[in-house]
C-alpha cells in the first residue's frame, strides 16, 4: 500500500472549510478596529485560526474514519482507505493544536488562544463525538464551533468581547443549517448508509426546506440587528438587505420545489443551488462588514 504524502495530510485539514472560517475572521477585525488593523496581528490571527481549524478537522477525520468508509463522498479520505496510519494523524493533529494555541497566545492574546482552543473542543467533542451520530439537530448545535472565529477575530483586536461580535456569532449560527442541510439533502443516501441522522435522512424534503426557510429568515434578521449595535452605515446595510433578500428567496424556492409533487428526484429538487448561494451570501455579507468601517456613511440617527 502506498504511503501517505503531503496531499493526504492537507486533505485531513479540509482546506475548503477553513476558507469559510477565515472569511468570517478577517472582516470582523476591521470592524473591531473601525479601520485597518495591524498587518502582523492579522497574519498571526489568521495563521493561528488556520492551525486551530486544521487541528479540529484532523481529529474529526480520525473519529469518523469508520463512517467515512461507508460514504461515497468520503471513502477516498486517507484514514478511510488506510493509506495513513491513525497514529500519524493523531500526532499531526496534536502538533497543529499546540501550534495554534502558541501562535495565538504568544503573538495575539490569551483570550483569542482560549477561544480557539474552545472551538477545537466544541467541534471534536461536542459535535463529532456527542451530537453527530445521535441527533438530527447535530449541525444546529454542533455549528457553534464554526461561529467561534467571529469572536476570535474581535478579541484579537480588542482583547475583549462585545455585543457586535455576538450578533455576528448568531448570524453564522443561524446560517449554518440552511447552508449544510441542502448539502445533506444531496448526499442523504450517503448519510443513511453510514447511520448518521442528518435531518434530510430522518425528515421529508418539505420539512427540511421549511427549516431552511426559518433559519434563513433568522440569519437575515440577525444580520440587520448589527446595524444599530455596531453601528453600521449604508454600505453594510445595502449589502445585508440585498444579499439577505436573495438568500431568503432561494430558501423559499427550495421549499416551493419540495412541495411540488412532480419534483420527486434530486435533480428536480436542486438543493445545491441554496448551498452554493449560501457561501456567496456569507462571503458578501462579511465583505460588507470589513468595508463599511473603512468608508463609513452613517444612516440617519446612527451617526
Domains of the chain: 7-161 (1.10.357.140), 162-303 (1.20.120.1780)
**For the chain, what is the mean pLDDT?**
94
For residue 89, what pLDDT band results from cuts at 50, 70 and 90? very high
Note the pLDDT tens digit of each residue in 92-143: 999 999 999 999 999 999 999 999 999 999 999 999 999 999 999 999 999 9
Report the C-alpha gap between 138 and 3 in whole angstroms.
Answer: 34
Note the pLDDT tens digit of each residue in 228-247: 999 999 999 999 999 999 99
Report the C-alpha gap between 113 and 97 in whole angstroms.
Answer: 11
| Portion of the chain with pLDDT greater than 90, in percent | 88
* 20 pLDDT above the threshold of 90: no
Output the pLDDT for position 162: 96
Q: Is the peptide bond before 231 cis (omega within 30 degrees of 0)?
A: yes
Report the C-alpha gap between 205 and 259 in whole angstroms.
Answer: 8
**Do the Cβ atoms of 169 and 147 come closer than 8 Å?**
yes
* 303 pLDDT above the threshold of 70: no
Cell of 2: 502506498
- Global pTM? 0.95
* 260 pLDDT above the threshold of 90: no
| Helix intervals (H) in 187-271 | 188-194, 199-202, 205-229, 234-259, 266-269
- Helices (runs of H) and strands (runs of E) counted in the chain: 16, 0
Rg (CA), the chain: 20
* 181 pLDDT above the threshold of 80: yes
**Do the Cβ atoms of 289 and 168 come closer than 8 Å?**
yes
Cell of 253: 424556492
Q: In 52-137, where do the E strands start and end?
A: none
Amino acid at each position: 500500500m502506498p504511503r501517505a504524502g503531503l496531499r493526504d495530510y492537507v486533505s485531513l485539514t479540509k482546506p475548503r472549510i477553513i476558507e469559510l472560517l477565515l472569511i468570517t475572521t478577517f472582516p470582523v477585525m476591521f470592524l473591531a478596529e473601525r479601520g485597518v488593523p495591524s498587518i502582523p496581528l492579522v497574519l498571526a490571527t489568521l495563521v493561528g485560526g488556520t492551525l486551530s481549524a486544521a487541528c479540529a478537522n484532523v481529529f474529526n477525520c480520525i473519529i469518523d474514519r469508520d463512517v467515512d468508509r461507508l460514504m461515497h463522498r468520503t471513502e477516498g479520505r486517507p484514514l478511510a482507505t488506510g493509506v495513513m496510519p491513525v497514529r500519524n494523524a493523531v500526532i499531526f493533529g496534536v502538533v497543529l493544536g499546540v501550534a495554534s494555541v502558541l501562535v495565538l497566545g504568544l503573538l495575539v492574546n490569551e483570550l483569542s488562544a482560549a477561544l480557539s482552543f474552545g472551538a477545537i473542543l466544541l467541534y471534536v467533542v461536542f459535535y463529532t463525538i456527542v451530537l453527530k451520530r445521535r441527533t438530527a439537530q447535530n449541525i444546529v448545535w454542533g455549528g457553534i464551533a464554526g461561529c467561534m472565529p467571529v469572536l476570535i477575530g474581535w478579541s484579537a483586536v480588542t482583547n475583549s468581547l462585545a455585543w457586535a461580535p455576538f450578533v455576528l456569532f448568531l448570524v453564522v449560527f443561524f446560517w449554518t443549517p440552511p447552508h449544510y442541510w441542502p448539502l445533506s439533502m444531496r448526499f442523504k443516501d450517503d448519510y443513511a448508509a453510514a447511520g448518521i441522522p442528518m435531518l434530510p435522512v430522518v425528515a421529508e424534503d418539505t420539512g427540511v426546506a421549511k427549516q431552511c426557510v426559518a433559519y434563513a429568515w433568522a440569519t437575515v434578521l440577525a444580520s440587520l440587528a448589527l446595524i444599530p449595535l455596531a453601528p453600521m452605515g449604508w454600505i453594510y446595510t445595502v449589502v445585508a438587505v440585498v444579499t439577505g433578500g436573495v438568500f431568503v428567496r432561494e430558501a423559499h424556492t427550495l421549499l416551493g420545489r419540495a412541495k411540488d409533487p412532480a419534483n420527486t428526484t434530486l435533480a428536480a429538487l436542486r438543493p445545491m443551488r441554496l448551498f452554493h448561494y449560501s457561501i456567496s451570501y456569507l462571503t458578501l455579507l462579511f465583505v460588507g462588514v470589513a468595508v463599511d468601517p473603512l468608508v463609513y456613511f452613517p444612516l440617519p440617527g446612527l451617526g
